[in-house]
Amino acid sequence: QQKRTKDFVVMAGADKNWYPTENAFLQMCNLPIRVVCRANAEYMSPSGKVPFIHVGNQVVSELGPIVQFVKAKGHSLSDGLDEVQKAEMKAYMELVNNMLLTAELYLQWCDDVTVEEITHPRYGSPYPWPLNRILSYQKQWEVRRKMKAIGWAGKTLEQVLEDVDQCCQALSQRLGTQPYFFNKQPTELDALVFGHLFTILTTQLTTDELSEKVKNYSNLTAFCRRIEQQYFEGHDKDSSTTVAARSAKRSLLR
């Protein structure tokens, strides 16, 4: 088989995040990827968000554009779906972004206990004092502004957890007993859901309530485990050591 000269290089930030969503998606497309961590990744990215991929001389960030880009290169996971299914897939992706992502942001930046003990240290870790404090306060202010604009600022932690539960219930009902959301083949929705659930299940927070909500739905945890086993266990020797070490540390098979 021809050796691929152009690897998809996934540029990650130095905060040691593994970015399961994008990683999973690229793995599902059977694309060779290399993960590289740089402290200034956020500044290199075209949209300011990490991770982003760097292929040849092109740079693409965020899942939506990455999916488009990969599709333009001839790899698509959702070609087998009909129009109605594609609409459904997009709707579920919005649900995940709307609920899970916002809930994760809320917990990281709006819950005072978590902010003090976990988020501030982690976000500011690559930088010396006082830059670390300044940057994390700035980020916190930004996130809180956004929460206020969409109406989440007035929510209590219980309400946020209830929303997460509702979202997980919907995902669990949609998944049912199938291996993937659209039966036999994984799609970008599977990558997205895996990414978020994996992050929730493995990130250390001050309380376990968030991960408990997800664990209530056994088909969702089984789903995560299955994807992890299928796409990440066998690739340890190819990926960079940091990914392997992280995945070993944070494996769901506890």
Partner 1 sequence: AYAKFSGAPLTVNTIHNSWRAPKGEVPVLISEDIVISQPAKILNFLRRQKYNADYELSAKQGADTLAYIALLEEKLLPALLHTFWVEAENYCSVTKPWFASRIAFPLSLYLPGKMSREALNRILLTRGGPPLYSLTEVEAQIYRDAKECLNLLSKRLGTSQFFFGDTPTTLDAFVFGFLAPIYKVCFPRVQLQEHLKQLPNLCRFCDDILTCYFRLTLSGHSPAGQDTADANLQKLTQLVNKESNLIEKMDDNLRKSPQHPPRKLTTLKLAVGGEGSPLNRLSP
Residues that bind partner 1 in the complex, under the rule CB under 8 A: 46-49, 83-84, 86-88, 90-92, 94-95, 97-99, 145-146, 149-151, 166-167, 169-171, 173-174, 176
Residues in Cβ contact with 209 at an 8 Å cutoff, skipping those fewer than 6 apart: 157, 161
Please say which residue, 38 or 148, places its beta carbon nearer to partner 1.
148
Least separation, in Å, of the C-beta of 87 and partner 1?
4
Least separation, in Å, of the C-beta of 192 and partner 1?
12
Please say which residue, 166 or 216, places its beta carbon nearer to partner 1.
166
Token match 């949609």: residue? Answer: 174
Least separation, in Å, of the C-beta of 227 and partner 1?
20
Least separation, in Å, of the C-beta of 214 and partner 1?
16
Please say which residue, 94 or 116, places its beta carbon nearer to partner 1.
94
Please say which residue, 7 or 88, places its beta carbon nearer to partner 1.
88
Please say which residue, 17 or 85, places its beta carbon nearer to partner 1.
85
Least separation, in Å, of the C-beta of 56 and partner 1?
20
